[in-house]
Amino acid sequence: LISLDRHGLRTVQVDKLKPGPFGFYIATGLINNRQGIFISRISLPSLTSVLSAGDEIVYIENELVKGRTLEYVQSLLADKTNIKIVLSPANCPSI
């Protein structure tokens, strides 16, 4: 966890330990009346302290991703070894 702002947004740094995926999956969806890109599943137990299924991805590397396609967001993650993500927690009201 890098930071937590007054609106509940979390900024986290995620590093790859080996080649392959980051250890989480993303999907488009509608959760709590919010349309967006969400963390759908976590496959690396060490990430459960900073990521939760249902967290909405708001920024990746300072780029706003609200309203972007899943394919576009996946392209931002491709070929990276570490990323900074800003998340709106699953239980946070819409921002």
Single pTM value for the model: 0.86
pLDDT band at 1, cuts 50/70/90? low
Q: Which domains does the chain have, with CATH numbers?
A: 3-88 (2.30.42.10)
pLDDT band at 94, cuts 50/70/90? low
pLDDT band at 93, cuts 50/70/90? low
Instruction: Please compute the mean of the pLDDT values over residues 5-17 and round it to a whole number.
Output: 87
User: 39: which 2 tokens?
Assistant: 């963390």
pLDDT in tens, 15-65: 987 777 889 999 999 887 888 999 999 999 989 999 999 999 999 999 999
Backbone phi, psi, residue 48, to 5°: -65, -15
30 bridge partner residues: 35
